[in-house]
């Protein structure tokens, strides 16, 4: 099963670049001191003018990139005013570094002035119980959005969760919970705040309010503690904190010392969504069983025993006037079902009606009450009359409730299986960790086994062979091989030694390792992925708006149809508009009309409509994760199935992304060593893959290859998409493409032109090097195609999807690469803003665009595209701005993402056809439309069973997506894209 989950986390290695593991080596300024993090005097504010942004999508990569820098407190970009406000710590970063970072994304930035703080936003996640259909979720969503300070609220029926974006200056999460409860539902806080860890501790020995106050105050004064919540009835303390400054073991120590040894604190037992789901399943099962205990005798006395001579005589025995033993027995047995077991439907209906809405509970309450109270009327009238021959429908109300409870039981059972992806992800984390205590010389003083949730930042953890890595960090001591299949999908273990990074949840195979924890709790890579998958399952697909609109009018319309059905049949019977032979011998015309009306009311099912989209999205995103494709919600799924044109970045996307220098041609009389030392001194300041390739090659010419001492580069300037320039050893060095040289008015010799043309014809990138404004040499850099690239483009063509390659590289190299993979349309020498512009041009031409890229310079295009797909091994910013992350970095997964999206939306359409078709077909049959022609009518209890079955069938239909298989053409390719005979 772990192998099935393996491909979920391919992107972690890139996520942890900025978020999870940072540099993975100790820094003198990291972790920050309390003053750096919390001190208001250290917090500075800067306002930048940002030009080049065309719409709101451009703000996302700017914000994400700035927020990923060390020392940034908050960054907010306003496209309307073309400004970016940044709150930062001057001891860790300066304004110039921030400005340069904005320009690296592809926009021009100018410092304006310091400014005041803008509103901050927090995200609160709440579990909601008691929702039955989309009417419930819409009511809660509307109530939350109406609160001052709430910027956005999403309530998901399938996951039974709410995600609220709010301003803590205007509203608190406790107020959000209160509004949910006032709406008639129960809300439980899951998490509040961004990037803040939360730990729950069980405290024994607390017996007074004074003790609780002591514990709360002791915890609140600790550095890094954000919030402390006390739950006296549960003996639970919930603490939100910053992991850089505090940790759970510190809290336990403080609690136990506060009570002079009287208090004992431990990690609160694991209670999560799965526990709540199991309790709900058990509750529905219990209600259903008790309902059967009473309903079966009611059914037998009304439907079976009446046809057995002996029992019929006993049941027909008159007690008072025309009231029989059978009537009285059915009344007594059905009453507990109606008012005790069915109490939840009354409560749900009251809550809905009190807030001006109507849900499924309203239909059930009206339908069962109509049958029950008419039956009571019949029994009482029979008791006071000597000639009344009425019929009771106690079996109708009892069987209705029993079947509906059975349906809800099967529904929650099936819904639990739609979120298995989250549970399997959580299972990857180890239960325990071995904590080491070291002396100043690094010798082990003691070791202790602790709960893995107690691991704090900078802890040293021992990982024995066969054990899971307990936290994200790096190796301090030891050598081993670690199975990272949960991240890479590759079964081959990766060698680890001193300084290498490790990821929590991976498995150590053969050696003992000591690691230093760098990211723990909600900051860990595994937690980040869990949060992303949860957010994906929360996000609504645009197609769901259709259901939300229907849900507002569905129940009132059904009630009107039900009443109209009863009235039509009642008047028809009253005026003898149909033969008396149509009326069953045991009924009157009024009772026949009543049965038709009740059947219409209970057969209509708003639940099936409400579950059609979210359950399919949940299963689809979970399956995507298991296939190595992280789809960020319903919007991405819906857009991906419409894609008919894909733009591929070249470097790192179509190519391997690890370029190497393959040829050097000097045009000036100088040593090769001197030449490479000069250009390495400038390129070491660049993050571009080509620059890294040059620096790696230059290390061959120096003695200390591990830590080479390059000359200092002064006045370094990076020209995005073109190259770099600086002063090295009093020489002006410019390294870049042909466009850069022409822009700098540097003449390009004919010999250099020939070398460039030859390199480009071989799909190599030609780099020109100018020393003191004279071209001194040409480098040829090769970045081989990814295995299987040609096959992927071919399959996309067969799927009627147009492919385009876009790159900042020269036209010659771009055309050579495109020809090799089979792409006809090429866009070369494109700057980041040019890529986004091209995406918009194709969108204007009527294409639904996908962009596949891996770098910061791809971010504007990833955001501009209808669907942005980030290669998993790419940069953190590319992954953050993308709609879909291809976690294995395989191009084949582009096809998997689109095919899965098409299959998911095909399933959603099928769900809607089933749900709508069921109601459109079932309601007329229940209303008796075909009764005059066929004599067939739908008794209310059968209508109720059909209603219960409809929502279960929709969930089961979505669950069939779990058996999704990649397209057959991809199955004929191995992991490296090589055809298998």
Neighbours of 83 (CB within 10 A): 17
Who's near 289: CB < 8 A, 6+ residues apart?
none
- How far apart, in whole angstroms, are the C-alpha atoms of residue 67 and residue 45? 14
- How far apart, in whole angstroms, are the C-alpha atoms of residue 529 and residue 12? 8
- Give the alpha-carbon dihedral of 63, 69, 71, 73, to 10 degrees: 20
- How far apart, in whole angstroms, are the C-alpha atoms of residue 399 and residue 333? 12
How many contiguous H segments (helices) and E segments (strands) does the chain have? 35, 36
Q: What DSSP string describes 493-546?
A: -EEE-TT-EE-TT-EE-SS-EEEEEEE-GGGSHHHHHHHHHHHHHHSPPTTHHH
Task: Write out the catalytic residue numbers.
Answer: 649
- The sign one gets for the Cα dihedral 922, 924, 928, 930 is negative
- How far apart, in whole angstroms, are the C-alpha atoms of residue 747 and residue 749? 6
Structure-block tokens of residue 959: 């669950």
- How far apart, in whole angstroms, are the C-alpha atoms of residue 136 and residue 131? 5
- How far apart, in whole angstroms, are the C-alpha atoms of residue 472 and residue 457? 9
Who's near 155: CB < 8 A, 6+ residues apart?
128, 131, 137, 138, 140, 141, 144, 161, 162
The answer to whether the peptide bond before residue 576 is cis (omega within 30 degrees of 0) is: no
Question: 201, 190, 143: which is closest to 163 by C-alpha?
Answer: 190
Helix (H), strand (E), coil (C) string for 700-736: HHCCCCCCCCCCCEEEEEEECCCEEEEEECCEEEEEE
Judged by phi (left if over 0) then psi (alpha if -120 to 50, else beta), residue 576 lies in left
Question: 808, 833, 813: which is closest to 740 by C-alpha?
Answer: 808
3-class SS at 124?
Answer: strand
- In degrees rounded to 5, what are phi and psi of residue 75? -130, 130
- How far apart, in whole angstroms, are the C-alpha atoms of residue 599 and residue 97? 70
3-class SS at 381?
Answer: helix
How is residue 687 annotated by DSSP? Answer: -
- C-beta contacts of 95-102 below 8 A and 24+ residues apart: 95/46, 97/69, 98/46, 98/48, 98/66, 98/69, 98/72, 99/48, 100/718, 101/65, 101/66, 101/69, 102/48, 102/50, 102/62, 102/65, 102/66
Structure-block tokens of residue 941: 């209890």
> Vertex 366, ends 364 and 367: CA angle to 5°?
65
- How far apart, in whole angstroms, are the C-alpha atoms of residue 654 and residue 209? 64
Laid out side by side, the sheet with 122-129 consists of 150-156, 161-166, 122-129, 186-192
3-class SS at 690?
Answer: helix
Question: In what helix (H) or strand (E) does residue 336 lie, and over which residues does it extend?
Answer: helix 325-336
3-class SS at 808?
Answer: coil
- The sign one gets for the Cα dihedral 301, 303, 306, 311 is negative
């Amino acid at each position: 099963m772990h192998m099935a989950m393996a491909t979920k986390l391919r992107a972690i290695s890139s996520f942890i670049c900025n978020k999870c593991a940072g540099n993975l080596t100790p820094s003198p300024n990291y972790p920050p001191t309390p003053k750096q993090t919390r001190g208001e005097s250290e917090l500075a504010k800067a306002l930048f003018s940002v030009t080049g942004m065309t719409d709101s999508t451009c703000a996302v990569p700017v914000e994400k990139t700035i927020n990923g820098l060390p020392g940034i407190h908050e960054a907010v970009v306003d496209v309307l005013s073309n400004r970016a406000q940044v709150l930062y710590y001057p001891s860790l970063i300066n304004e110039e570094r921030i400005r340069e970072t904005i320009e690296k994304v592809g926009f021009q930035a100018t410092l304006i002035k310091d400014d005041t703080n803008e509103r901050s936003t927090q995200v609160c996640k709440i579990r909601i119980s008691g929702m039955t259909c989309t009417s419930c979720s819409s009511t809660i969503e509307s109530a939350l959005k109406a609160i001052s300070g709430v910027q956005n609220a999403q309530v998901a029926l399938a996951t039974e969760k709410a995600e609220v974006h709010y301003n803590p200056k205007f509203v608190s999460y406790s107020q959000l919970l209160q509004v949910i409860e006032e709406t008639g539902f129960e809300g439980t806080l899951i998490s509040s705040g961004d990037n803040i860890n939360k730990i729950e501790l069980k405290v024994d020995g607390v017996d007074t309010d004074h003790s609780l106050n002591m514990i709360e105050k002791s915890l609140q004064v600790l550095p890094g503690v954000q919030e402390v919540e006390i739950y006296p009835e549960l003996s639970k303390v919930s603490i939100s904190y910053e992991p850089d400054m505090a940790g759970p073991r510190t809290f336990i120590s403080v609690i136990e010392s506060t009570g002079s040894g009287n208090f004992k604190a431990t990690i609160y037992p694991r209670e999560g969504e799965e526990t709540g789901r199991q309790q709900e399943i058990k509750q529905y099962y219990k209600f259903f069983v008790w309902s059967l205990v009473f309903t079966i005798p009611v059914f037998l006395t009304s439907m079976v025993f009446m046809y057995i001579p002996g029992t019929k005589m006993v049941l027909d025995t008159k007690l008072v006037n025309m009231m029989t033993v059978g009537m009285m027995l059915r009344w007594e047995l059905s009453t507990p079902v109606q008012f005790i077991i069915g109490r939840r439907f009354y409560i749900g209906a009251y809550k809905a009606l009190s807030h001006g809405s109507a849900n499924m509970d309203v239909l059930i309450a009206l339908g069962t009450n109509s049958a029950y109270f008419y039956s009571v009327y019949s029994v009482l009238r029979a008791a006071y009359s000597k000639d009344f021959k009425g019929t009771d429908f106690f079996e109708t109300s009892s069987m209705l409730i029993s079947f509906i409870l059975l349906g809800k039981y099967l529904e929650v059972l099936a819904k639990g299986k739609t979120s298995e992806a989250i549970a399997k992800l959580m299972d990857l984390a180890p239960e325990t960790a071995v904590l080491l205590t070291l002396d100043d010389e690094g010798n082990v003083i003691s070791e202790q086994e602790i709960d893995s949730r107690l691991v704090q930042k900078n802890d040293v953890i021992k990982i024995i062979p066969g054990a899971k890595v307990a936290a994200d960090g790096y190796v301090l001591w030891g050598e081993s091989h670690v199975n990272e299949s949960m991240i890479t999908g590759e079964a081959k273990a990766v060698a680890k030694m001193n300084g290498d990074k490790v990821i929590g949840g991976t498995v150590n195979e053969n050696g003992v390792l000591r690691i230093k924890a760098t990211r723990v709790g909600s900051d860990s890579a595994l937690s980040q992925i869990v949060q992303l998958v949860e957010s994906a399952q929360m996000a609504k697909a645009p197609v769901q708006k259709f259901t939300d609109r229907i849900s507002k009018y569905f129940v009132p319309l059904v009630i009107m149809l039900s009443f109209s059905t009863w009235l039509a049949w009642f008047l028809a019977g009253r005026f003898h508009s149909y033969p008396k032979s149509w009326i069953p011998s045991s009924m009157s015309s009024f009772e026949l009309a009543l049965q038709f009306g009740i059947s219409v009311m209970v057969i209509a099912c708003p639940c099936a409509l409400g579950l059609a989209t979210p359950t399919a999205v949940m299963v689809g995103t979970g399956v995507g994760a298991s296939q190595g494709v992280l789809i960020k919600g319903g919007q991405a799924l819906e857009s991906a199935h419409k894609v008919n044109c894909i733009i591929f970045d070249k470097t790192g996307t179509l190519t391997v992304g690890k370029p190497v220098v393959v040829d050097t041609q000097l045009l000036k009389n100088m040593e090769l060593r001197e030449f490479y030392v000069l250009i390495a001194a400038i390129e070491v300041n660049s993050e571009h893959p080509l620059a890294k390739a040059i620096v790696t090659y230059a290390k061959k010419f120096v003695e200390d290859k591990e830590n080479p001492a390059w000359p200092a580069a002064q006045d370094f300037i990076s020209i995005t998409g073109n190259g770099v320039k600086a002063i090295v050893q009093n020489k002006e060095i410019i390294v870049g493409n042909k466009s850069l040289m022409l822009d700098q008015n540097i003449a390009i010799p004919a010999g250099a032109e020939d070398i460039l043309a030859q390199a480009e014809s071989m799909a190599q990138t030609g780099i020109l090097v100018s020393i003191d404004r004279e071209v001194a040499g040409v480098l040829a850099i090769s970045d081989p195609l990814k295995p299987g690239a040609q096959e992927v483009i071919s399959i996309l063509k067969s799927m009627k999807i147009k492919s385009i390659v876009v790159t900042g590289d020269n036209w010659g190299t771009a055309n050579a690469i495109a020809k090799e993979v089979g792409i006809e349309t090429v866009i070369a020498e494109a700057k980041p803003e040019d890529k986004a512009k091209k995406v918009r041009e194709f969108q204007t031409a009527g294409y639904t665009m996908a962009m596949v890229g891996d770098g910061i310079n791809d971010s504007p295009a990833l955001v501009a595209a209808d669907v942005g797909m980030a290669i998993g091994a790419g940069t953190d910013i590319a992954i953050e701005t993308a709609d879909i992350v291809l976690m294995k970095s395989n191009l084949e997964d582009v096809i998997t993402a689109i095919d899965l999206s098409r299959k998911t939306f095909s399933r959603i359409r099928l769900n809607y056809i089933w749900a709508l078709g069921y109601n459109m077909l079932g309601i007329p049959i229940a209303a008796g439309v075909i009764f005059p022609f066929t004599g067939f009518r739908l008794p209310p209890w059968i209508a109720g069973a059909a209603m219960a079955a409809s929502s279960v069938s929709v969930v089961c239909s979505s669950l069939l997506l779990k058996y999704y298989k990649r397209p057959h053409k991809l199955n004929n390719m191995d992991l490296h894209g090589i055809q298998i005979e």
